[in-house]
């Protein structure tokens, strides 16, 4: 479809096709097809520096699946999940993984992207225990007050997921500050899962250089956001919680499913994941 045709389709669905959307660009890295010219331009700009970008997106999804499977499984047995910045539907969505372990697990997805709202809602709301809300994660009070989130029982443990979301939030929005609001709202016994782009600094100098280059490209794109934060900055997002083993680590090092069969590329190393417990 030509760009003008795409703009027509976008307008019909209430989507501004002149700017890239991280939900659609990320979906491209996962092999999805719901994208417009502005998204493809960002995708190509990033692939030019980090051709293994697709592997990063897949690592992120695999990490999320391992986290949800662990928490929904018999060992922990949590049955409430709040997946914020959930993205476009893909293979093995949070509710599919959680409900495979417990068919009655409640999953609430939240995103503020028009494409996710337009195309995702029907798929995400495919059963009575799965819900979708449109809300901006930078405003925890409003997000937590949506009727869909209110379906969760805040007197029982739940899992709050911020998977590959907070690095799209600028420092001015104070992610550590608003994450404290979410953590305060969580009942005791809950968990917080975060994956976040990482600038390794002196720990991995070639990774530091790539993180700086990628951050500049994301920020200069029509999306205008993207932050590779330090380990200390990411750790701050878990303030007040206890990180469970193995702590805040590269995604492929977080309870891998089995032996590593290929080398992890540099760009794949530039994201950390952690799971923390609220005593």
Ligand X SMILES: C[S@@+](CC[C@H](N)C(=O)[O-])C[C@H]1O[C@@H](n2cnc3c(N)ncnc32)[C@H](O)[C@@H]1O
Number of residues forming the site for ligand X (CB under 6 A): 20
* Residue 164 makes contact with ligand X by CB under 6 A: yes
Least distance in angstroms from the C-beta of 223 to ligand X:
10
Nearer of residues 164 and 275 to ligand X, judged by Cβ: 164
Residue among 145 and 206 whose Cβ is closer to ligand X: 145
User: 81 and 106 in contact (C-beta within 8 Å)?
Assistant: yes
Distance of CA 257 to the CA centre of its chain: 20
Closest to ligand X by CB, 2 or 126: 126
Give 134 or 264: the residue with its C-beta nearer to ligand X: 134
Residue whose C-alpha is closest to residue 225's, from 176, 135, 159, 165: 165
Stretch that binds ligand X, among 41-49, 68-76, 80-88, 250-258 (CB under 6 A): 80-88
The CA distance from 103 to 129, in Å, is 8
Q: Which stretch binds ligand X (CB under 6 A): 60-68, 206-214, 252-260, 265-273?
A: 60-68
- Tell me: does residue 265 bind ligand X (CB under 6 A): no
Does residue number 178 form part of the binding site for ligand X (CB under 6 A)? no
Q: What is the DSSP string of the chain?
A: --HHHHHHHHHHTT--TTS--HHHHHHHHTT-----HHHHHHHHHHHHH-TTHHHHHHHHHHHHHHHHHHHHSTTT---EEEEET--S--SS-HHHHHHHH-TT-EEEEEE--HHIIIIIHHHHTSSTTEEEEE--TT-HHHHHTSTTGGGS-TTS--EEEEES-GGGS-GGG-HHHHHHHHHHHSPTT-EEEEEEEB--GGGSHHHHHHHHHHHHHHHHSTT-----B-HHHHHHTTTTSEEPTT-SEEGGGSS-SS---SPPPTGGGSEEEEEEE--
Nearer to ligand X, 112 or 146 (CB): 112
Query: Residue from 26, 182, 238, 254 that binds ligand X (CB under 6 A)?
Result: 26
The footprint of ligand X on residues 130-159 (CB under 6 A) is 136-138
Q: Which of 10, 32, 53, 87 binds ligand X (CB under 6 A)?
A: 87
Q: Which stretch binds ligand X (CB under 6 A): 124-132, 164-172, 175-183, 206-214?
A: 164-172
Pick out residues in 90-119 that bind ligand X (CB under 6 A): 111-113, 116
**Of 4 and 172, which has the nearer Cβ to ligand X?**
172
Residue 241 interacts with ligand X (CB under 6 A): yes or no? no
Tell whether residue 54 is a contact of ligand X (CB under 6 A): no
Interface positions with ligand X (CB under 6 A) = 22-23, 26, 60-61, 64, 85-87, 111-113, 116, 136-138, 163-165, 168
């Amino acid at each position: 479809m030509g760009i003008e045709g795409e703009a027509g389709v976008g307008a019909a669905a209430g989507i501004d096709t002149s700017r890239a959307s991280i939900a659609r660009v990320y979906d491209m890295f996962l092999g999805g097809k719901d994208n417009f010219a502005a998204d493809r331009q960002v995708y190509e700009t990033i692939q030019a520096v980090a051709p293994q970008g697709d592997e990063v997106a897949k690592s992120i999804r695999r990490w999320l699946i391992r986290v949800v499977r662990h928490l929904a499984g018999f060992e922990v047995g949590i049955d409430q999940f709040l997946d914020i910045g959930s993205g476009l539907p893909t293979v093995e969505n949070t509710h599919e993984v959680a409900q495979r372990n417990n068919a009655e697990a409640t999953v609430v997805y939240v995103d503020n992207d028009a494409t996710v709202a337009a195309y995702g809602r029907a798929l995400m709301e495919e059963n009575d225990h799965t819900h979708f809300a449109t809300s901006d994660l930078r405003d925890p009070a409003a997000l937590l007050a949506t009727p869909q989130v209110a379906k969760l029982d805040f007197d029982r443990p739940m899992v709050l997921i911020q998977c590959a979301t907070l690095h799209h939030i600028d420092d001015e929005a104070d992610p550590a500050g608003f994450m404290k609001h979410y953590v305060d709202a969580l009942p005791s016994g809950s968990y917080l899962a975060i994956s976040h782009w990482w600038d390794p600094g002196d720990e991995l100098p070639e990774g530091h250089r790539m993180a700086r280059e990628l951050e500049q490209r994301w920020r200069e794109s029509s999306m205008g956001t993207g932050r590779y934060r330090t380990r200390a900055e990411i750790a701050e997002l878990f303030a007040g919680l206890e990180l469970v083993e193995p702590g805040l680590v590269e995604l492929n090092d977080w309870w891998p499913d089995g032996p590593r069969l290929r080398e992890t590329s540099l760009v794949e190393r530039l994201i950390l994941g952690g799971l923390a417990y609220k005593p």
